[in-house]
Amino acid sequence: MIVVSAIWGFAGPVIKFSLHDFPPLVFLSYRFAISTIVALIYFSFTQPPLPKKQETISTILLYSLLAVPIGLGLLFFGFEKTTSLTGTLLSATAPIAVVIASAEFLREHVTQTERFGIILAFLGTVMTVMGPLVTSHGFAFGAFEGNLLIMASIAVDTIATILVKILMRSRVSPTLLSHVSFIIGFLVIFPIMLWYYSPSEIFNIIRSAPLSAHLGVWYMALLSGSLAYGLRNEAVKSIEVSETAVFSYLYPLWAAPLSIFWLSEKITAPFIVGAGVITVGVIIAEYKRSTRIHHHHRQKRR
């Protein structure tokens, strides 16, 4: 999961950089097309066994729709409007949503101390989301809207993460799930792109984009897409959902240097305050939870 956190941490600045040349729908279709080709090559060589239960197939389809076209669609449109630094910080709060969802749907226990930490982290997130409205920048409302879209993507991805755990219990292959989800993502996003852009417009956008933007799309397709999702799903298979989510807290650590020195983004006062409150809340919630999990594992070994 350390590898996944680094890949997805770098993804924020890469997305923001590449969106200068590719509109979100073109970016996503291009990315999913690459992932679909990789998936078809994988299936042609491995021919993995496919699930036969209708319930499992329906869950795979639901996961794929939520995680890829909807979740990533919201994320990309959000990053188009806000800074990569803010977007990455908000994405790092995903574990809080996962812990809440795990308690609700998977019956994982949440203590009073953890609840307090979660509330603090939530307040810090609200401060970060509202930050653009208290600054004097001209793009304030657009950035606020982008922050809301990213929060919506986190909510959608949280549900998808819970579905992954359910599918792993049904012994669905993590690699199979990853590849199928991107094929479905392409089948959903590509027609939508054609609704908004003519083939000639799409061709001109792709042809005129610099090599660096194309490399950004390939990074998102191969590393942040097929590889990272497969590794994440494999991790969820073997450990608790909420334990894998903790690695999301590392996203800003990877993204900050690229956002500041590569994209020349500025750190604002609301961002610092929000990040500070989020950090305190996360430390309180995760310290208590990690202590409880460690104690539980020790009890099981006895």
pLDDT score of 135 more than 80: no
Q: What is the pTM of this model?
A: 0.79
The residues spanned by each domain of the chain are 2-301
Lowest mean pLDDT among 60-64, 119-123, 152-156: 119-123
pLDDT score of 200 more than 60: yes
What is the tens place of the pLDDT at every residue in 183-197? 999 999 999 999 999
Tokens of 102: 């795990």
More confident residue, 10 or 130: 10
- Tokens 């319930």 sit at which residue? 55
At how many degrees (to 10) do helices 84-91 and 71-81 cross?
Answer: 140
d(CA 114, CA 118): 6
- Whether residue 81 contacts residue 266, with contact meaning beta carbons closer than 8 Å, is answered with no
What is the tens place of the pLDDT at every residue in 228-286? 776 766 666 555 555 555 566 667 777 777 887 787 877 777 777 777 777 777 677 66
Q: What percent of the chain has pLDDT over 70?
A: 74
